[in-house]
Structure 1
Amino acid sequence: MRNVSINLLDDTPRPVVAIGTDYSYGHVLPRHTHRRAQLLYGATGVMQVSTHDGNWVVPPQRAVWIPAGVAHEVLMLGVSTRSLYIEPLAVDLGSQCQVISVSPLMRHLLMEAVEVPLAYDEAGRDGVLIDLLLHELARSAHLPLHIPLPVDARLLALCQGFLQRPDAHQSPQQWAGQLHISLRTFNRLFRQQTDLSFSQWRQRACVVLALARLAVGEPVTRIALDFGYDSPAAFSTMFRRVLGQAPSVWLEGAK
């Protein structure tokens, strides 16, 4: 199915409903929920998914798992999606959103799934295709592309400010001073609220924010300097530390 709302198809008596949708650049899906879990795959473009727990940036050729009932908002930056709406008992990737890798096989299955009939024959070829897709989904790898956000209002304001203007030179000492607490108290609070150290959070935020810019062709040098890194090499080293690949290698894998 193409360019149709799941709200019209949610009662389809099949474990999976596959829908392909094309979005204009900058299109925003306001915060909403689904009864079914959703696998949201971007064949092109970048998606930014926001929930109460944090933000996820989904580069091209990756997907985000959105559990049933989780309220989420999505910003589409030149995206053509393939979505699977999955009955909660059909597969379980956990109760929180996560960005996942998409194997070449899974990519082809997703593209094909939107072409199968809505009430596909579960015992026939289309049913086998959907079953294989669920098996591939269950074994997919999780990617560290989540920026957790704290609940503490004062700390949340600092984190949101950083996401608007990332600066690799910002330090925990600076943030502790702005909150008028000791560095030790700040470090403890930050880890309690995000499950990451300040340095880990800052690096992950820079990587995730950079992915959206890299995906639309911005040069590494420009991004590195905008984020406060002393050189493109310093940025690439940090990027490789977080994702295990240099920016150029990551982008090549997204094609």
Structure 2
Amino acid sequence: MPTGSRNDQSPETRLHLSRLGLIESSSGLVYALPSDYPPGHFIDTHCHSRAQLLYPRTGVVLVTSTLGRWMVPAEHALWIPPQIDHSVEMLGEVHMLSIYVLPDALPNMAETVRVVALTDLTRALMVEAVALPQNSASEGRAGLVMHLLLDEVATLPELPLGLPFPSDPRLSSLCRRFIESPSPHLVIDDWAESLAMSRRAFTRAFRRETGVSLSLWRQQACLLNAMPRLAAGEQVTSVALDLGYDSVAAFTTMFKRMLGTPPKQYFQRTAG
């Protein structure tokens, strides 16, 4: 449950705390809520007994836990399993839709936090869900909307916008320093040498701790740094050069490989 906030007395925080109580006392399979937050608003570490699908329709949301950091651009969503302690920071003005799901309603869903791509149908169903009376009967039109929404959520594809953190303190320290100044030129041998490990032992340890290779993790870290800046309208050239890419083309190639489309087209699509 909540432990406070940087904005303890703000109306948004008081509303968030009261809504958490309603969510916990709800008996329905799905509890859906809209929320509006000003730029920079911060919700301190909390958890809930239900899973949450967090969907920012505008702005960018940064979710942090001991397991990692997940950046959620507009028109994407974050799946947060039950009982995961996490904090939420709003990058820009955020209009958010959230659905809170009883664990038994989706027993086969991932038990890890993950960013997912939304379909047009899922977006439409979430808009409809927040407009319905909460705790309404599970039959009739409301029941059809909620059950179809659950079916859609179970099929959403994961996107590489998370940044898992190793639990090993030495690896975690290296990762935290890197995200303060990410670069595409990270050298595995340098990290391995700093921990007095062979390259092979280091790469095995890193994958065991994070579930991904250091190369993929580096790209995710660069993407995590770039996305809020691009979403705010900063030029691709400026972002690419600040991150240390040798050319805009190299940055665009990485972006397209990770998200399936070049930056300009990507943000035109999510703005539409």
The TM-score normalised by the length of structure 2 is 0.88
Q: Report the counterpart of residue 26 of structure 2 in structure 1.
A: 12
Q: How many residues align?
A: 255
2:178 is aligned with 1:162: yes
Describe the SS at the equivalent of 1:60. Answer: coil
Shift of the alpha carbon at 1:169?
1.7
The 10-residue stretch of structure 1 (172-181 or 112-121) with the greater mean CA deviation from structure 2: 172-181
Matched with 1:242 is: 258
Aligned to 2:79: 65
Moved over 3 A (4+): 1-4
TM-score w.r.t. the length of structure 1 is 0.93
Secondary structure of 1:180's counterpart equals coil
The structural deviation recorded for 1:3 is 9.8
**Pair 1:82 & 2:97 matched:** yes
1:3 and 1:22 in contact (8 A); partners too: no
In structure 2, distance between residues paired with 1:109 and 1:189? 42
Do the aligned partners of 1:44 and 1:79 also contact (CA within 8 Å) in 2?
Answer: yes
| Cα deviation code 1:20-78 (max 9, x no counterpart) | 11111111111111011111111111111112221111110111011111111111122
Deviation at residue 184 of structure 1 after TM alignment:
3.1
Q: Which amino acid aligns with 1:16?
A: V
Asked whether 1:128 is paired with 2:144, we answer yes
1:176 partner SS? helix
Tell whether the 8 Å contact from 2:23 to 2:100 is kept in structure 1 after alignment. Answer: no
What fraction of aligned residue pairs are identical, expressed as a percent?
42
Q: What amino acid sits opposite 2:89 in the alignment?
A: L
Residue of structure 1 equivalent to 2:39: 25
3-state SS of 2:184 partner: coil
Corresponding position of 2:10:
none
After superposing the two structures, state which structure 1 stretch, 35-44 or 105-114, moved more. 105-114
**Residue 187 (structure 1) aligns with:** 203
SS at match of 1:34: coil
- Give the superposed CA RMSD: 1.9
Deviations 1:88-115 (A, max 9, x none): 1112421111111111121121112111
Q: 1 or 2, which has the higher helix percentage?
A: 2
How do residues 83-232 of structure 1 correspond to structure 2 at under 5 angstroms?
83-92=98-107, 93-232=109-248
Q: Shift of the alpha carbon at 1:133?
A: 1.2
Alignment-mate amino acid for residue 117 of structure 1: P
